[in-house]
Amino acid sequence: MALTHNLGFPRIGVKRELKKALEAYWAGQSTEAELIETGRQLRERHWAIQQAAGNAFVTVGDFAWYDHILEWSTTLGVVPPRFNHPKNAPVDLDTLFRMARGRAPSGEPAAACEMTKWFDTNYHYIVPELAADQQFYLARSSLFDQVAQAQASGYKVKPVIPGPLTYLWLSKGESFSSVEDERKLALVPQLLQVYKQVLTRLAELGVQWVQVDESALVLDLPPAWQDVYRQVYAELATTPVKILLATYFGDVADNMELVSSLAVAGVHLDLVRGPQQLARVLPGWPADRVLSAGIISGRDVWRTDLDQAAALLGPALAQLGEQLWLAPASSLLHVPVDLAEETQLDEEIKSWLSFAVQKLDELSLLAATLNGAVTDAQDAALARQRAALSDRKVSRRIHNPAVIERVAAAASVARERTPFAERIVKQREALGLPDFPTTTIGSFPQTPEIRKVRRDWKAGALSDTKYEEAIRQEIREVVRFQEEAGLDVLVHGEPERNDMVEYFGELLAGFAFTQNGWVQSYGSRCVKPPIIYGDVARLIPMTVEWTAFAQSLTDKPMKGMLTGPVTVLQWSFVRDDQPRQATCLQLALALRDEVQDLEKAGIRVIQIDEPAFREGLPLRKADWQAYLDWAVDCFRVSTSGVQDTTQIHTHMCYSEFNDIIESIAAMDADVITIETSRSNMELLEAFERFNYPNDIGPGVYDIHSPNVPDREWMIQLMNKAANRLNRKQLWVNPDCGLKTRQWPETRSALIEMVNAAQALRAAV
């Protein structure tokens, strides 16, 4: 008999109850007691779901007020000095919120802690900040309180905590030069003492199993870290609980020997991303060690092929019996809560999907199959699942012969443009640009009026004619302002776009949208990723009319604005029945048509945003190049069909460029704009070292702040850039789009920016 369990459940609530409760509390509209009560109810509800799905335990510790790593930092007493936290004192909720957001209903504001992406997901965690002499101590009891809550409700509990080494790996500190800095390891002995206290206390509460998440084990780990893993788990083995060491988001690969050697009672492996791990470990698997098979994806929204899963796990069950556990591959934090909330989704597409609640049901179906204990109801459910999956394999909604044919011929699509040195001369002449040309990244302030226009139109409360006129009016104003300000390359301002991926997804075949498919991004912020379920094709031109209208208002070049194939892919749930790169190529071909149509309509500058380009990097360095190759190729497919005189821009927000600069250059965009103002142009170092030949617009002011940038400051920044690069290469632009800003500061900032560019031109 294989039992089932869960690594973590989405905490935000099916109706985003946690988001609403948090925001009300932060705004002073509700009390701490009310917030705490919402949290209690959400946990109760999520445990009931796990229990109903037949899980052997409910998972406790996956709930977090803001982020589970921040939850753990505050439990370990890791509060940076600027929050003035009294030494060895308990950490309260408002201190946690101040660390996350810089402010809370009580306490002095201070600079918030940094946030960064959780492995290769779109979830962001709060980076722990450690001092060189960091003292750890048990500073919050929330984990124990939640265990007690679950027990009081009659549940058998399996707590989950971040593993000590993954926690250290993800942390930073002024005294550490890098993530893998070995000096961090000096903190291990003291950290271990607190872990022992936690585990002992859990044992006292009657807990038998504790899930310890060590996903750093799917990364490239330096040897020193591997050694410490052995020591740490030998120590933790002396505590009175059984440890289930959980690895997920990938194959542990060359760390497998290490993992197998650790003194733990059980190991969880991600068999969705690393199915080949099973055959590797089974032969030598100790008879008394639990193997938790992560078999249902926690990273996508697709139903699982349960027959295939059962076939994979059959031999494992035969060998391990009760020592085989079944689970989702990772926490379900990264998928929406409940498909049953989707009342408007096409029934056929819906039959292929599975959200957190459904994934736990799939898990229990799989367990019943493997255990040979299928009820009539389960049998019917299995039949439905099989039918849905075989329908998906052939459905005309997914498989579009025209797209398949086009992709097959894509190899012959030319990716090369004339050498940049030749192109740029022609472009400068055709566009009549000065040195230090000025531009913006695309969006202008999205006022409440504009948002309302879009909303009303979508709801059918505003006619097409009225909607179009309102958008045109906005474009007129944006263009008029840019002309007055003296910008060189103008934009239409993107007033018709709610979101840079959703806008395109709605106009492309192969995309579906949910009503409630929310996934936590960070804190109270959620995103609703589109679902790419089928072959992607452009149904109609997507941006040509608006862009051409904007161009008709001015003699200056109007920049067309598209979201790149890699970014659309990264910010969507992507179909799992073909490689990601195949879907990306379909997107690239659709965008290629749009680029060419823009050119035909007289648009001479076209920007393809790729802010998620770096995000797509795989977790293991060995897999980087393959990704970079197809990502660059897709960008080139989109952009290479234009004449020499048409200028291609790309925008990448904030990104680390050092180790991918070759691929950035291989994209061969005529102009790349990046976020650099807060790093004081230091990001340009990679471009300088590489002798990056094409044009660059290093952002000269931070669009996250309402402050109007100082002209002299921008001139200084550009002079720094000119020290690193050729001044002829440089553009002057803000860091990113302006949609979150207000008009008054936007006007002043751009006028100052143009003044700065003029001063730079004058000073030769």
Residues in contact with Zn ion by CB under 5 A are 653, 736
634: annotated binding-site residue? no
Which residues partner with 609 through β-bridges?
Answer: 563, 651
Comparing every residue's Cβ against ligand GLN, the nearest one is 737
Cα distance between residue 149 and residue 147, in whole Å: 5
Using the contact rule CB under 6 A, the part of the chain among 213-221, 222-230, 350-358, 440-448 near ligand GLN is: 440-448
17 among the known binding-site residues? Answer: yes
Under the binding rule (CB under 6 A), the answer on residue 500 touching ligand GLN is yes
Task: Candidates 275, 442, 565, 734: give the one binding ligand GLN (CB under 6 A).
Answer: 442
Provide the token pair at 361: 């049901």
Kindly state whether residue 651 participates in binding ligand GLN, applying the rule CB under 6 A.
yes
Residue in the block written with tokens 């945003």:
609
**With respect to Zn ion, which residue has the nearer C-beta, 73 or 567?**
567
Q: Identify the burial level of 487 via C-beta atoms within 10 angstroms of its C-beta, where 0-12 means exposed, 13-18 middle and 19 or more buried.
A: buried
- The DSSP call for residue 111 is P
- Pick the closer one to ligand GLN by CB: 590 or 608: 608
What number of other Cβ atoms are within 10 A of residue 70's Cβ?
24
Instruction: Based on the shown chain and the rule CB under 6 A, indicate whether residue 443 belongs to the binding site for ligand GLN.
Output: yes
- Note whether 495 binds ligand GLN by CB under 6 A: no
Is 400 flagged in the annotation as binding? no
Residue 136 or 657: the one with the smaller Cβ distance to ligand GLN is 657
- Among residues 3, 271, 272, 561, the one that binds ligand GLN under rule CB under 6 A: 561
Among 99, 147, 736, 760, binds ligand GLN (CB under 6 A): 736
* Two structure tokens written together for 549: 């209208």
Work out whether 611 is an interface residue with ligand GLN (CB under 6 A).
Answer: yes
598-634 residues labelled b (16+ CB within 10 A) or e (exposed): bbebebbbbbbbbbbbbbbbebeeeebeebbebbbbb
| Rounded alpha-carbon distances, angstroms, from residue 752 to 683, 701, 709, 763 | 23, 11, 7, 17
Q: Which of 562, 636, 564 has the alpha carbon at shortest distance from 605?
A: 562
322 assigned to a ligand binding site: no
**In the set 185, 326, 441, 608, which binds ligand GLN (CB under 6 A)?**
441
* Element (DSSP H or E) covering residue 457: helix 448-458
561: partner contacted, choices ligand GLN, Zn ion, none (Cβ within 5-8 A by kind): ligand GLN
Under a CB-based contact definition with an 8 Å cutoff, are residues 474 and 451 in contact? Answer: no
CB-based burial of residue 374 (10 Å sphere; 0-12 exposed, 13-18 middle, 19+ buried)? middle
Q: In this structure, which amino acid lies at residue 365?
A: L
704 part of the active site? yes
Nearest distance in Å: CB 561, ligand GLN: 5
Is 443 annotated for ligand binding? yes
CB of 56 to ligand GLN, least distance (A): 43
Q: Are 264 and 245 in contact (CB under 8 A)?
A: yes
d(C-alpha 421, C-alpha 425), whole Å: 7
494 annotated ligand binder: yes
> 242 a known binding residue?
no
DSSP H stretches of helix in 103-187: 142-152, 164-170
CB distance 281 to 253 below 8 Å: no
d(CA 413, CA 48): 54
The residue range among 53-61, 134-142, 441-449, 528-536 that interacts with ligand GLN, by the rule CB under 6 A, is 441-449
> 702: Cβ–Cβ under 8 A, 6 or more apart, which residues?
677, 678, 709, 735
Q: Is 560 in the site for ligand GLN (CB under 6 A)?
A: no
Residue 609 binds which entry of ligand GLN, Zn ion, none, with Cβ cut-offs from 5 to 8 Å by kind? ligand GLN
Residue 571 annotated as part of some ligand binding site: yes
Q: 45 near 52, Cβ under 8 Å?
A: no
Q: What are the residues whose beta carbons fall under 8 Å from the beta carbon of 45, sequence distance 6 or more?
A: 13
Q: In terms of residues, how long is the chain?
A: 764
Our finding on whether 653 is near ligand GLN (CB under 6 A) is: yes
Query: Annotated binding residue at 182?
Result: no
Query: Site for ligand GLN (CB under 6 A): which residue of 609, 633, 668, 695?
Result: 609
CB of 562 to ligand GLN, least distance (A): 9
* Among Zn ion, ligand GLN, none, residue 336 binds (CB under 5-8 Å by kind): none
165 belongs to the binding site for ligand GLN (CB under 6 A): no
State which of residues 159, 437, 529, 737 lies at the interface with ligand GLN (CB under 6 A): 737
For residue 443, the partner it binds in Zn ion, ligand GLN, none, with Cβ less than 5 to 8 A by kind, is ligand GLN
Question: Helix (H, G, I), strand (E, B), or coil: what is residue 243?
Answer: strand
Counting contacts by CB under 6 A, is residue 542 touching ligand GLN?
A: no
CB of 142 to ligand GLN, least distance (A): 35
Q: How far is the CB of 423 from ligand GLN (least distance, A)?
A: 23
Check binding of 650 to ligand GLN (CB under 6 A): no
Least separation, in Å, of the C-beta of 703 and ligand GLN? 9
Any binding-site annotation on 526? yes
Q: Which of 502, 512, 484, 393 is nearest to 751 (CA)?
A: 484
The footprint of ligand GLN on this chain (CB under 6 A) covers a number of residues equal to 13
Check whether 122 is labelled as a binding-site residue: yes
Residue 114 near residue 126 (C-beta atoms within 8 A): yes
Span near ligand GLN by CB under 6 A; candidates 137-145, 203-211, 391-399, 731-739: 731-739
- Residue 741, interface with ligand GLN (CB under 6 A)? no
Give residue 172's identity as a one-letter amino acid code.
K
Measured CA to CA in angstroms, residue 711 lies from 520, 682, 718, 736 at distances of: 39, 20, 11, 18
State residue 511 phi and psi, 5-degree precision. Answer: -110, 145
Which residue's CB is nearer to Zn ion, number 435 or number 702? 702
Instruction: Confirm or deny that 18 is annotated as ligand binding.
Output: yes
Judged by CB, which is closer to ligand GLN: 296, or 561?
561
What residue type is 210 in one-letter code? V
> Which parts are annotated binding residues for L-methionine?
441-443, 494, 609
Interface contacts to ligand GLN, rule CB under 6 A: 441-443, 494, 500, 561, 609, 611, 651, 653, 736-737, 739
Catalytic residue set: 704
> Which parts are annotated binding residues?
16-19, 117, 122, 441-443, 494, 525-526, 571, 609, 615, 651, 653, 675, 736
